[in-house]
A and B are shown apart, each in its own frame.
Chain A
Amino acid sequence: MIYALCIVLFLLGLYGVLVKKNLIKIIISLAMMNNAINLFFILLAYRKNGVVPILSFLQPNANLYETAVDPLPQALVLTSVVIGLGVTALMVALAIRLYYVYGTFDITKMRKLRG
């Protein structure tokens, strides 16, 4: 169920990208899509009443493997967040330059390229 909600969030972001006319709203929608997938990754790793996946020699936990949450998706999400940051920064920079050139954020007014 909760996985389906992630997909709903993803599709909402997709709707925003495809329908909205404002550059900033498009950027926000893309960030939404990205976060939906990050959330999905984190939920994959989640385990009810799970423990922190740290192997400690001071407090050995014999059944860590059975009880810990999966640490790999967390590492992946960290990478994906950083990539998302880079993409968003580039998009905002382009949006600023486009604003200087056209004086608007409305994509329907930017039509140098046709066909």
Chain B
Amino acid sequence: MGLLPLFVAIPLFSALLLGFIEHKKGIMHTLVMLTTSALVILAFATPLQRGFYFVGGHHPFVGITLMLDPLNRLLLIVVQILVFVASWYSIGYMEQYTAKSRYFSFVFLMLAGMNGIVITADFFNLYVYMEIATIASYALVAYGGKAHELEASFKYLVLGSISSLFILLGIALIYSQTAALNMMVVAQRLDVTNPITWLIITVFAAGFGLKSALFPFHSWLPDAHSSAPAPVSAILSGVLIKVVGIYVLLRFFYNIIGVDQAPLTLIAWLGALSSLVGVLLAMGQHDFKRLLACHSVSQVGYIFIGIGLGTPLGLIGALLHIVNHSAFKSLLFLSAGSVEYATGERNFHSMGGLAKVMPWTNAASFIGFTSIGGVPPLNGFWSKLILIIACVSSGQWILGLIIVVVAIMTLTLFPKIQKYVFLGDLPSKFRNVKESPWSMILPMLVLCFFCIVLGALVVVPVLRETYFLPAVQALLSGKWLGVFQNAP
């Protein structure tokens, strides 16, 4: 467990170091790749069992506790791999911007924040890490400095701050009820029959719902995620909304409050509404990245449907969709970025025929589209199938029907874009377009590989038993009953 603080310390230290090597590009790129690949290796090296790390050697009632269990191990691995891929891609992509080292500093701050959220078991510490991650993401959304980017960043900043303050209010209420901030102690002391607990649940659902763009709070997401540079959009849509919003809500509902069906049903229905609204919003877009961002709202809705069902199968579907969505949506954002890098254009109605000049990007986005559309045997198919089966088997026919309808709409939406962007005749203004450099294509191919094989997480028994089922089991084991092994 001594490894745990490194997940926060390494990216923080690299973010600091990057400030000193602003003008030495070779060293900067080496440092970025070394840090991110070291973190990937570290994430796989973490132990499989649940364990704690007590910061400063204090007793958990007093000090901060870090925790690792199969659920956050799964998320740690996903986050490290995705940030590794996105940073690799950024080395080529960010050549169009200035102040590259500052960009990487922000990415590493965001990574430190996300890792902290995943491993912490202390409410106020969670708030601090959340602010580190989201403040870095506000700055990254405004990174281009153009009018629409500043506007999107301000909108994101205002709504993000409101949600953070709601969460802080919830933490204050928790402290007033339990006189503790450690999640395990809170889980034991929080009295579910007390009306204040319901206020806490409401405030937390609103705060984390805003952070993860659940239905009535989704308006900021298309602006923010489409205005950021492409690799940042990939990180934001791929992992940030899931780590900051969905993961914490999962923990809160399943491990701290203990499962209660009433709020979960509400969450399932809000998820169903946001999956419908997201896909309908996406249908009306003509900007490549904005369409992908709107579609993220609908995929987050899927995840919430799975969480809201509360059955083991629903949770398996939700967790698998978290992993899958971070693979295919990032892949699509990266290929949209690659198209934008080569042509300087984001409106797909004015493109066409790019398959001839950009064969690799074409292949990558084709795999992304088929995967997000749910074509077997790519990964999107498995999670959607599991979610539909989970809905039907728990008697929620209407939710299952909504998932099917949204999946069909998605399946019709994406071939249309593939046709507009890559097929047809090449406009004369794109005659001289070249394929993006290899440093951008290789990361996309890595994500293509994941899109193809991730279905194996549930199909292959060894992977399922090692990575996946323990994570679901960690949620289903219900309320934490304060077991601190070897507390100081």
Interface residues in chain A, defined as those with a beta carbon under 8 Å from any beta carbon in chain B: 10, 14, 17, 23, 26, 30, 33-34, 37, 40-41, 44, 70, 72-73, 76, 79-80, 83, 86-87, 90-91, 94-95, 97-98, 101-102, 110, 112-113, 115
A residues less than 8 Å from B145 (CB atoms) = 97
User: Do the beta carbons of A94 and B157 come within 8 Å of each other?
Assistant: yes
Extra contacts besides A87-B135, A113-B155 (12): CB < 8 Å? A34-B165, A37-B168, A44-B172, A73-B172, A83-B131, A86-B131, A91-B154, A94-B153, A98-B147, A98-B154, A113-B151, A113-B223
Main secondary structure of the interface of A (DSSP, over half): helix
CB-contact partner of A30 in B152, B161, B169, B181, under 8 A: B161
Q: How far is the CB of A40 from chain B (nearest CB, A)?
A: 5
- B398 within 8 A of partner (CB): no
User: Do the beta carbons of B158 and A112 come within 8 Å of each other?
Assistant: no
| 13 A-B residue pairings within 8 Å (CB atoms) | A23-B154, A40-B169, A44-B176, A79-B124, A80-B168, A83-B128, A94-B142, A94-B154, A94-B157, A101-B147, A112-B151, A113-B148, A115-B290
User: Do the beta carbons of B281 and A79 come within 8 Å of each other?
Assistant: no
B140-151, CB under 8 A of A: which get 1 and which 0?
A: 001001011011
User: Do the beta carbons of A90 and B138 come within 8 Å of each other?
Assistant: yes
Q: Which residue of A lies closest to B290 (CB)?
A: A115
- B162 within 8 A of partner (CB): yes
The 9 closest A-B pairs by CB, nearest first: A112-B148, A101-B147, A83-B131, A113-B223, A33-B165, A94-B154, A44-B176, A37-B168, A98-B150
CA A30 – CA B152 in complex, angstroms?
A: 17
Q: Which residue of A lies closest to B160 (CB)?
A: A87
CA A79 – CA B281 in complex, angstroms?
A: 39
A residues less than 8 Å from B138 (CB atoms) = 90
Q: How far is the CB of B253 from chain A (nearest CB, A)?
A: 23
CA A90 – CA B128 in complex, angstroms?
A: 16
CA A22 – CA B161 in complex, angstroms?
A: 17
A residues less than 8 Å from B131 (CB atoms) = 83, 86-87
- B139 within 8 A of partner (CB): yes
A residues less than 8 Å from B151 (CB atoms) = 98, 110, 112-113
User: Do the beta carbons of A73 and B153 come within 8 Å of each other?
Assistant: no
B residues less than 8 Å from A83 (CB atoms) = 128, 131
- B450 within 8 A of partner (CB): no
Q: Which residue of B lies closest to A73 (CB)?
A: B175
CB-contact partner of B157 in A72, A79, A91, under 8 A: A91
B residues less than 8 Å from A110 (CB atoms) = 147, 151
User: Do the beta carbons of A90 and B147 come within 8 Å of each other?
Assistant: no
Q: How far is the CB of B411 from chain A (nearest CB, A)?
A: 23
Q: Which residue of B lies closest to A97 (CB)?
A: B150
A residues less than 8 Å from B152 (CB atoms) = 113
CA A110 – CA B158 in complex, angstroms?
A: 15
User: Do the beta carbons of B285 and A115 come within 8 Å of each other?
Assistant: yes
Tell me whether A101 and B281 are in contact in the complex, defined as CB-CB below 8 angstroms, given that A79-B124, A87-B161, A115-B222 are known contacts. Answer: no
Q: Quick one: which of A10, A14, A41, A95 has the most chain B CB within 10 A?
A: A41
- B284 within 8 A of partner (CB): yes
CA A110 – CA B149 in complex, angstroms?
A: 12
CB-contact partner of A115 in B124, B155, B227, B284, under 8 A: B284
CA A112 – CA B154 in complex, angstroms?
A: 13
Q: How far is the CB of B5 from chain A (nearest CB, A)?
A: 18
Q: Which residue of A lies closest to B281 (CB)?
A: A115
CA A17 – CA B210 in complex, angstroms?
A: 15
User: Do the beta carbons of B154 and A95 come within 8 Å of each other?
Assistant: yes
User: Do the beta carbons of A76 and B124 come within 8 Å of each other?
Assistant: yes
A residues less than 8 Å from B147 (CB atoms) = 98, 101-102, 110, 112
CA A87 – CA B157 in complex, angstroms?
A: 8
CA A23 – CA B151 in complex, angstroms?
A: 11
CA A108 – CA B197 in complex, angstroms?
A: 38
User: Do the beta carbons of B150 and A37 come within 8 Å of each other?
Assistant: no
CA A113 – CA B155 in complex, angstroms?
A: 10
User: Do the beta carbons of A10 and B169 come within 8 Å of each other?
Assistant: yes
User: Do the beta carbons of A44 and B175 come within 8 Å of each other?
Assistant: yes
B residues less than 8 Å from A44 (CB atoms) = 172, 175-176
B residues less than 8 Å from A115 (CB atoms) = 222, 281, 284-285, 290
CA A73 – CA B180 in complex, angstroms?
A: 11
CA A27 – CA B159 in complex, angstroms?
A: 12
Q: Which residue of B lies closest to A110 (CB)?
A: B151
B residues less than 8 Å from A23 (CB atoms) = 154
A residues less than 8 Å from B164 (CB atoms) = 87
Q: Quick one: which of B139, B154, B176, B227 has the most chain A CB within 10 A?
A: B154
B residues less than 8 Å from A94 (CB atoms) = 142, 150, 153-154, 157
Q: Which residue of A lies closest to B128 (CB)?
A: A79
Q: How far is the CB of B180 from chain A (nearest CB, A)?
A: 10
